[in-house]
Amino acid sequence: MDVLWLCVLGLMLGGWFVLDGFVIGTGMLLRRVARTPDERRTVMAAVGPYFLAGEVWLVVSAGVLIAAYPDLEKSAFTAFRPVVVVLVCCWVLRSASIWFRARRPEEATQRRWERLLAGASAGFAACWGLVLGNLAQGLPAVSGQVSFGTLFGVLPLLGAVAMVALLALHGAAFTAARTTGEPSRRAAAEARRLALPAAGLLLAAA
């Protein structure tokens, strides 16, 4: 039964990384691949149908973790509390940026939301990399918050950089495939630039 629940949790997290990962990557690269308001509107329209659906996978993953592995959930959330708090804040800010960037027509207002979207998306990805890197090192034997040096050690930081690069590549590939014209061309160029660094970082972290 434990193996079954672990497979379910892995499936949920994998679904989230696949379906919401390119939304995060697109948020990071939005102003690099789309230079005009019309281009940015086109790119955001391409990710719009997947936005809420992707977040559902993350919510379900948290529910499975709490229901099937309550001790792990308690230990992990306690040990990695600073990173988890920043992760949740970035998640909220990313979602707010997507919702509110189009609520006002002023370009300056949209530009502020788009910059917040890029920063929150990158922070969200980096925090996930930190969490996974720390999990790879193992939870402390005694329940409690891990030290700053452990929380932001070499492996977690490598995981953070690798996750940012990987999701940026995912977003660039999605944008290149789902849009046309200049945004698609720029996104394809970004994907080519990111492919080797992302693969190298992922291999090093693995």
Q: What is the pTM (predicted TM-score) of this model?
A: 0.88
Number of independent structural domains in the chain: 1
- Look up tokens 């207002």; give the residue: 109
For residue 1, what pLDDT band results from cuts at 50, 70 and 90? low
Q: What is the mean pLDDT of residues 17-33?
A: 90
Dihedral (Cα; 21, 183, 197, 192), 10-degree rounding = 120
Residue 17 has pLDDT above 90, yes or no: no
Q: How many CB atoms lie within 10 A of CB 167?
A: 30
Residue 144's pLDDT is 63
Dihedral (Cα; 21, 88, 155, 28), 10-degree rounding = 40
For the chain, the residue count is 206
145's tokens: 């918050």
Q: What's the mean pLDDT when you consider all of the chain? A: 86
Show the domain range for 101.
2-205
CA 172 to chain centre: 14
Residue 143's pLDDT is 60
Residue 145's pLDDT is 67
CA 92 to chain centre: 12
Instruction: Give the separation between CA 118 and CA 99, rounded to whole angstroms.
Output: 14
Residue 185's pLDDT is 96
77's tokens: 């959330």
Contact 138, 174 (CB under 8 A): no
Tell me the per-residue pLDDT of 68-108, one tens digit each, with 9 for 90 and over: 777 776 777 778 888 989 999 999 999 899 888 878 778 88
Tell me the per-residue pLDDT of 139-178, one tens digit each, with 9 for 90 and over: 765 566 677 767 888 888 999 999 999 999 999 999 999 9
Q: How many CB atoms lie within 10 A of CB 19?
A: 17
Tell me the per-residue pLDDT of 121-131, one tens digit each, with 9 for 90 and over: 999 999 999 98
Instruction: Give the separation between CA 186 and CA 50, rounded to whole angstroms.
Output: 22
Instruction: Give the separation between CA 12 and CA 22, rounded to whole angstroms.
Output: 16
Q: How many CB atoms lie within 10 A of CB 95?
A: 17
